[in-house]
Each structure stands twice: as C-alpha cells, then as structure tokens.
Structure 1
Amino acid sequence: MTLGFTALVTAIVGEVAGTMSLRKATTGSKAWFVAVAGSYVFAFSMLSVSLAQGLPLGLAYGIWAAAGVALTAILSKVLFEEPLTPVMGAGIALIVGGVLLIQVGSAY
C-alpha cells in the first residue's frame, strides 16, 4: 500500500473517531468535544497528505466518504444500539458501488 493510501486509511479512522466522539459529546461529557476537534484535525491532515502523495481528489474523497458512512453506521449499531436496517445496508452498498464506478471511470 502506498503512503497515499495509508494516509487515506488513517484519515478515515480519524474521521470515524471524530464522529463517534461527537455522538458521545452530545449525549455525555462535553470533554468529548476535545476528541472531536482533535480527530477531525487529524483526519483532514491525513487527507491532505494522501492528496499530496498523488491520489486524485475525487477518488480520495469518495473512498473517505463511503468508508466513513459505512463504518459510522456499523459502529453506531454496535456502540449506540442505533438501527442498521437492510435498506440502510443497501444504501451503503450503493455508495460503495458508486465509489467503484468513479474509480473505474477515472481510467478513461
């Protein structure tokens, strides 16, 4: 895996951590907002590293957004007992399919 994709994966982890922390900050201790801010700064920093390493913006952002949506939905189900219905699963699959089409389309 190239440095660009490694940075993208860490950006995804940071963004999902920030979103999970945001959920905790709005329902619990306000101290979680520190984790929210730090996670988002980290995520955007790593996204910029992936772009600086040559990943196309459309591809990097598409993967980042799709993975973020999917992981957030799954972790919300596990950690916060929020719904994850078959229709939501189909939506996640469509998002992933859309990102794959963007990647395939960029080869032309």
Structure 2
Amino acid sequence: MKNSAPLSNFLGMCDAVVAGPAMSDGKAASKVTGHLLRLCHAQLVLDAAMLMYLVSHADRLRSLAHPSVLTPHIGALAAMLACDADEIEQNRLSAVKKASWAPPSTL
C-alpha cells in the first residue's frame, strides 16, 4: 500500500474490524492482512483467506492490542494446520488444540 494514511485513519475510528469473508485471492488477502495487523488497534475478526497469512505470521497476531476472533471453516483450518479435513472432522477438539499457535485468539 503506497499511502496507508486513509486506511489508518479509518481503522482508528473502529472498535472492531471484520475482514476476509468471501475473499478468495490469497495473495491480495495476505497483503491486506499484513496491513491490517500493522495498522489496526481494534479487535479483529478474521475469516477466509485472511487466515492463511497467519500460518506463517502468528507472531504478528500475538502482538495485537486485543484478542482476535478467527473463524475458519474445516477446510481452512486443515490448510492452517497442514492436515486433511477428514482428520479435523474425526477430532475437532484436537484440531482446535493444535491451533493454539494463535493466542490470544478465540477460534
């Protein structure tokens, strides 16, 4: 983002930001997620392609001022955990525990 000031100003007025629903372009979503994590001081609810950025940037999530809410569907959680969706279906509790790399978040 060449000039993030307008986005930063907008985010400064928010108590919470929901980002990601219906996003399918992983490259664009990663770019937006990176900017959101850097600029946003509100609570985040992240969904869809936004979650994939977190797989290799969980440290950015841990440094946020507020806990986040992550809303992966089973396929997204499988991709985040590098496992098969059937594995998650068989033991959802175990999958959620494996996703504990994302504190302080609600999954």
With the shorter chain as reference, the TM-score category is: 0.3 to 0.5
TM-score w.r.t. length of structure 1: 0.37
Judging by fraction of residues, say which structure has more strand: 2
TM-score w.r.t. length of structure 2: 0.37
Higher relative contact order (CA 8 A, sep 6+): 1
